[in-house]
Amino acid sequence: MTRRDGIAWPVIRIVLLGAIALVMTAPYIFMITTSFKPQSEVFAGGLNLLPQQWSIVANYSKAVTAVPLLRILLNGVIVCAAIVFFQILFALPAAYSLAKLRFGGRDIIFGLVIMGLLVPIHAISIPLYAMARWAGLLNTLAVLIAPFTLSVFAIFLFRQFIKTFPNDMVLAARSDGLSEAAIVWRVILPNAWPAASAFAIFSVVAHWNDLYWPLITVSKTQLATPPLGLMFFRAAEVGDDYGALMAATVLITLPLVLFFLFAQRLFIEGLTMSGIKG
């Protein structure tokens, strides 16, 4: 980008970045090393990173058995995947209509999209909870998925994106005899893939982290998502066995982190895309 003279600057840069990186990753370092320590060592205090007594098996097995951790991680995967699936399923056709088709309701619907962007889900959580309760859907996977299947952000994002497609694309498809629905799935989706995958990443990160909605709708451990599962674990251990608690946090953080490390470009480009277009 810019020219720097001499070799002093590159070194300074690396040192600076390295120092900050150390601070940023300190929590991970402590998280992992503490998860190897037995309870007595954790409470002895001290800044020793390496445990004198290794307690990996005890801590990690406790983490996995005190709450059904693997089941909880699976719940998280199922819920997030289902949410993204339905979000795109419903949003893409709507976005296409808003972007490329002419019909009377277009402005109203787009107005509703804007309204939806401004109203966060927390604000309407009380009536949504009441509806779920009345429908007997509390403590089900369905209740964790259903409210989020509507994503006005997705509609907005895809609409912006599809608007940049040349109209000829659509006209050509029509004259090939494709129905509008077919156009959405056979023409638009393949071309909107960057936006779709970008949105998917964004959605997964947001919903993987969500504690508020599971907290009020789920009380059974088997149906917990990862954030809620960790809360249950903390309650069960009363924060005493920090070694096991850290082991639990390691296991619960691992999936998304691994996914990120393997698909970095996808993540970062995706978020950037949502950023630039949003």
What are 188's two structure tokens?
């638009």
Nearer to another protein, 9 or 193 (CB): 9
CA dihedral for 21, 24, 26, 32, sign (positive or negative): negative
- 6: contact with another protein by CB under 8 A: no
User: What does the angle CA 73 – CA 257 – CA 30 come to, to the nearest 5 degrees?
Assistant: 100
| Interactions with another protein, residue window 192-211 (CB under 8 A) | 205, 208-209, 211
- 256: contact with another protein by CB under 8 A: yes
Q: Nearest approach, Cβ of 103 to another protein (angstroms)? A: 4
- 172: contact with another protein by CB under 8 A: no
- 115: contact with another protein by CB under 8 A: yes
CA dihedral for 16, 17, 20, 25, sign (positive or negative): negative
Q: Which of 65, 74, 107, 133 is the binder for another protein (CB under 8 A)?
A: 133
Piece in contact with another protein (CB under 8 A), picked from 50-58, 77-85, 115-123, 159-167: 115-123
- 227: contact with another protein by CB under 8 A: yes
- 171: contact with another protein by CB under 8 A: no
Q: Which of 72, 155, 200, 244 is the binder for another protein (CB under 8 A)?
A: 155
- Residue spans of alpha helices (H) in the chain: 8-35, 39-42, 56-66, 69-100, 106-118, 125-134, 141-145, 152-163, 167-175, 180-182, 189-191, 193-209, 212-217, 226-237, 242-262, 264-277
Q: Nearest approach, Cβ of 193 to another protein (angstroms)? A: 19
CA atoms of 33 and 205, how far apart (whole Å):
26
- 147: contact with another protein by CB under 8 A: yes
**Is the separation of the CB atoms in 167 and 188 below 8 Å?**
no
Give φ, ψ of 229 to 5 degrees.
Answer: -60, -40
- 26: contact with another protein by CB under 8 A: yes
CA atoms of 226 and 242, how far apart (whole Å):
18
DSSP state of 105: T
CA atoms of 106 and 252, how far apart (whole Å):
43
- 164: contact with another protein by CB under 8 A: no
For another protein, how many residues bind (rule: CB under 8 A)? Answer: 117
**Is the separation of the CB atoms in 34 and 60 below 8 Å?**
no
Nearer to another protein, 21 or 57 (CB): 21
- 169: contact with another protein by CB under 8 A: no
- 15: contact with another protein by CB under 8 A: no
Q: Nearest approach, Cβ of 75 to another protein (angstroms)? A: 13
DSSP state of 53: S
- 65: contact with another protein by CB under 8 A: no
CA dihedral for 221, 85, 111, 270, sign (positive or negative): positive
Piece in contact with another protein (CB under 8 A), picked from 50-58, 119-127, 161-169, 190-198: 119-127
Q: Nearest approach, Cβ of 277 to another protein (angstroms)? A: 10
Piece in contact with another protein (CB under 8 A), picked from 56-64, 159-167, 191-199, 232-240: 232-240
